[in-house]
Structure 1
């Protein structure tokens, strides 16, 4: 039988945080929270369930009560993976988003914390999976079934890795979600910004990643890239760090009046990605 400490170990949660979570496990009673917890397994009820849990937890320093609750839910999700015959590796790779978010909180704010509960309902609902370097979420777009592609912050998006992830996703969803007849992969990300080919070298992994997509929308003013590139969305232009070539190139581009924003694109599901 898998335990909370096993999940924490499997997703490489920092030991300091694991100790806190194991302590909170003794305080939380999921039976009392069951009606709210159950809502997190169903997309239409995510917001309602989260609101109820936030109220039930009251003061939740660094979000660790919510994190404990969600990882305890992960014990049930783990069993669902087993029942479906899904690989244990896919479970741990997928749930590693929890430890990644905790570490990203440290990088942004100087302390461990969890503030992405609005996102991780996808993993709990078994609607998003990490398959190799990329994450794939079952979703709707213009009324049609699609798979939304997400790029984890620790992903190494070489051409080889991306091709392998797309290939794996086609096999995975055909096996485990045979009734989900998706026609497109979609992506909404700063990584698809049409500005990036102007900033980055032609052989850049980011530029190669976006070449697969037909880009249809560009929100030039969307500032979300600041969090992913600079780890802090609240910094002023002159405060942006220049620790990497990407940071330096984007900062220079912004100073010259350029825009990054986010863009939306799609790939036809039957397209050959190579």
Structure 2
């Protein structure tokens, strides 16, 4: 099958013209024979993480060469982020063929791969510069390990012995009684509609998706590790909050009050921003900021989705 045209692909994902210009420069700058192997391997679930690490090391060598040639460290780092973006987009462009062979629709493909410009938008909102810094994450998308289905993302994972043992202790299950050997991890994109109807539709579509295309995950356990599950949010939000409605779908287990991941998602801020300087543009920002200034902690939590939340309601 024919690989999708590069420019058409960028346009369908919604990249800005300046992004596409930088990507074209990266294509000219890169020694493609040195990165093509990494690009191919990032389309395979078994090799994607290792390929990303190898590519990152290769691009770091490029950065050092550029600095030796007189380019500033900041400029070299900026160019390198587009080099990584270019390579991962090439992986995504080639994995489109696998979607076609498997019969997975274009909507899921493009919804999944739109994470790339979305992450750049998030970085710009937080740091004031359009930058790609999520290569450590997006090899999951390029290797068909993670899909966006409706409003949520779903990542296939194995429930290894350590995870099973830890979860059995954490959630009070007796040894040997856990039914799952595979796990689907839920992730919540920053632009997700968390209305109950949208979440229900996403979960039910995902269950059918995995039963059809990845039968080993057709009856997997669904888990989530997120600031959205933090129990402290019950003190900050109204009972009818969409976030709390989402949270109630899970049996909450381990809570990490020390995690600061919520800062990025609530405030679009990094951990080094003083609490007093956090923005107050939304009601949640104002409430959370006051709570933090008073000594409160938000953190994040891990939860297992309850069966009644839509997993077994899907129709085969």
TM-score (norm 1): 0.93
Q: How many corresponding residue pairs?
A: 274
| CA apart distance, 1:197 | 1.3
| CA apart distance, 1:94 | 0.2
What corresponds to 1:68 in structure 2? 86
Change (3 A) 1:128 1:173: same
What corresponds to 1:125 in structure 2? 143
Instruction: Classify the secondary structure of the residue corresponding to 1:223.
Output: coil
Instruction: Classify the secondary structure of the residue corresponding to 2:203.
Output: helix
Q: Tell me how far apart the structure 2 counterparts of residues 30 and 169 of structure 1 sit (CA, whole Å).
A: 36
What runs of 5+ residues in structure 1 fail to find an aligned partner?
none
Does the alignment pair 1:236 with 2:252? no
Residues 133 and 162, structure 1, Cα contact 8 Å, conserved in 2: yes
The CA deviation string for residues 179-203 of structure 1, in whole angstroms up to 9 with x for no partner, is 3354311000000000111110111
Residues 183 and 268, structure 1, Cα contact 8 Å, conserved in 2: no
Deviates further, 99-108 or 46-55: 46-55
Counterpart pick for 1:112 among 102, 116, 130: 130
What corresponds to 2:19 in structure 1? 17
Q: Tell me how far apart the structure 1 counterparts of residues 197 and 38 of structure 2 sit (CA, whole Å).
A: 42
Counterpart pick for 1:194 among 225, 228, 231: 231
Change (3 A) 1:132 1:72: same
Counterpart pick for 1:254 among 292, 296, 300: 292
What corresponds to 1:78 in structure 2? 96
Instruction: Classify the secondary structure of the residue corresponding to 1:82.
Output: helix
Residues 228 and 300, structure 2, Cα contact 8 Å, conserved in 1: yes
Does the alignment pair 1:54 with 2:91? no
Instruction: Classify the secondary structure of the residue corresponding to 1:23.
Output: helix
What corresponds to 1:156 in structure 2? 193
Residues 192 and 262, structure 1, Cα contact 8 Å, conserved in 2: yes
Q: Tell me how far apart the structure 2 counterparts of residues 170 and 89 of structure 1 sit (CA, whole Å).
A: 17
| CA apart distance, 1:271 | 5.0
The CA deviation string for residues 16-46 of structure 1, in whole angstroms up to 9 with x for no partner, is 1112112322333444323333443455644
Pairing of 1:178-189 with structure 2 (within 5 A):
178-189=215-226
What runs of 5+ residues in structure 2 fail to find an aligned partner?
64-75, 165-180
Q: Based on CA coordinates, which of the two structures has the bigger radius of gyration?
A: 2
